[in-house]
Amino acid sequence: MTSRFHTATFVAKAAVSCSVSILALGGLLYWLSGSEPAAEDIATEILKASPEVIATLKTDLMTSEYEAVGAVPTEIISEDHIATDIERLVTVSPGDTLMSLLVAAGATRTEAHGAINALSSVYSPRKIRPGLDIALTFAPPVEIIAEEEESRDVGPLMAMQFQPSVERIVKVSSTEGESNNYIAEEIERPLTMKTGYSAGIIDSSLYLAATESNVPNDILISLIRAYSYDVDFQREIQTGDRFEVVYEAYYDEDGNLAKTGEMIYGSLSLSGTDMKLYHFTPASGFTDYFNSKGQTAKKALMRTPIDGARLSSGFGKRKHPVLGYTKMHKGVDFAAPRGTPIYAAGDGVILRASPYSSYGNYVKIRHHSGYETAYAHMNGFAKGISKSKRVRQGQVIGYVGTTGRSTGPHLHYEVLLNNKQVNPLGVKLPAGEKLAKSDLKKFESVKKDIDKMIKKLSEPAAIASITP
């Protein structure tokens, strides 16, 4: 097809129009000067014409026959437009592979393969988990020349970046001037550890009071777990009770809280009784929380093997919600959202992990000293949970559900002593480790240092608490 910018008609029309415009301008200059100019003078006067005259002439050219025949190329109109890189953010979903994500976002399989190979030198693609955000950078789209090539709305993949942890950024970039070649690097984010402190008065629940006092969620969970052996958070927390917590807090270069570390100290004042716990590692190497006398907070069994649940039904006789008549309830029920993790109440061996009658999905664990625990109506079992497997206290064994004879998502929890069900919230549980000799002496020294630190940290908090 012949370009309209190079036809004989276009050249002739352009020449005529240009000649007419130049002659018109020459005539205008002659009329203004009142004398007959020479041909070379006309040319000189044209070159010396004012910007206003030039602009008028240019406008005349743009709106005359040039535009009608297409003599003003569109490239001139859009010459200031600069193509920019294209940024896309993708989120890993269950079942995704990195290859499928990159290709779906616009990369070719060759580009994706090159980027993944480079990534493997610093980070295993197998470690990528659902929920991770990956930022992709593509070059602007390029014109497809070969008919067999497929068109796409982006150019070549230039970079891929994600943050697998608060301390690491992984970046893959294309090698300059080399197609489909990539290099990978890890960028360490420096974090600064500071001591965090929070305290507050409980009005309705520990969770709400801690949230209002800006206690990080991970620290709140640590606080609840540390006290879960001795405190029934449904019945023993009263209005006016107090809490206090000291923890490790890590901040990034911008001063933002990036992550939390260990809970160093926790305190609950329940109905006037102070319960203090100190973070300590004895010679055995197993870190735990100990009270002021060096007695571990951990008991042989947890009273509440689930986080953030509501006690929906206690131990004893009750009207059965499904059967409709009074029946002995030989455990306690904790209402919680479907999928909430359920923990092993203590170290032991699994006796059963399967559907079981009206209990639905059911796990039973044998502990020492004649104790057993049972967990019913579970939505499913955690990976690796099966009969004869050993579990540790606090290990996830399953998830809240409503299988079996159930009216809604909850955990039915039983404690058995010598094959007889007992009230999990009332039974006296065997105590854990008590420090002795050198461990106790070392603990006293650590406790003294923590007490001094708390006194210093609590001063500004105490002032803030009485400020309107």
Secondary structure letter of residue 295 according to DSSP: B
Please write the tens of the pLDDT for every residue from 5-26: 444 443 344 444 444 444 444 4
- In this predicted model, which residue has the larger pLDDT, 5 or 370? 370
Secondary structure letter of residue 346 according to DSSP: S
Q: Are 303 and 232 in contact (CB under 8 A)?
A: yes
Q: Give the bridge partners for 410, in sequence order.
A: 335, 401
Q: Are 350 and 374 in contact (CB under 8 A)?
A: no
Please write the tens of the pLDDT for every residue from 262-313: 999 999 998 888 999 999 998 877 788 999 999 888 877 888 888 767 777 7
Q: What is the pLDDT of residue 382?
A: 95
The amino acid that residue 281 corresponds to is T
Q: What is the pLDDT of residue 442?
A: 95
Q: What is the pLDDT of residue 308?
A: 66
User: What's the CA gap between 27 and 36, in Å, rounded?
Assistant: 10
Q: What is the pLDDT of residue 373?
A: 94
Q: Give the bridge partners for 96, in sequence order.
A: none
Element (H, E) at 165: strand 157-165
Q: pLDDT-derived band of residue 76, with 50, 70 and 90 as boundaries?
A: very low
The tokens 């005539």 sit on which residue?
Answer: 27
% of the chain beyond a pLDDT of 70: 74
User: What's the CA gap between 395 and 299, in Å, rounded?
Assistant: 15
User: What's the CA gap between 195 and 448, in Å, rounded?
Assistant: 16
By C-alpha distance, which of 26, 134, 45 is closest to 89? Answer: 134
By C-alpha distance, which of 173, 188, 101 is closest to 137? Answer: 173
Q: pLDDT-derived band of residue 60, with 50, 70 and 90 as boundaries?
A: very low
As given in the structure block, the two tokens for residue 59 are 């406008």
Task: Tell me the H-state helices in 387-431.
Answer: none
pLDDT mean across residues, the chain: 79
Element (H, E) at 248: strand 242-251
The tokens 């879960």 sit on which residue?
Answer: 228
Q: pTM of the predicted model, to two decimals?
A: 0.56
The amino acid that residue 113 corresponds to is H
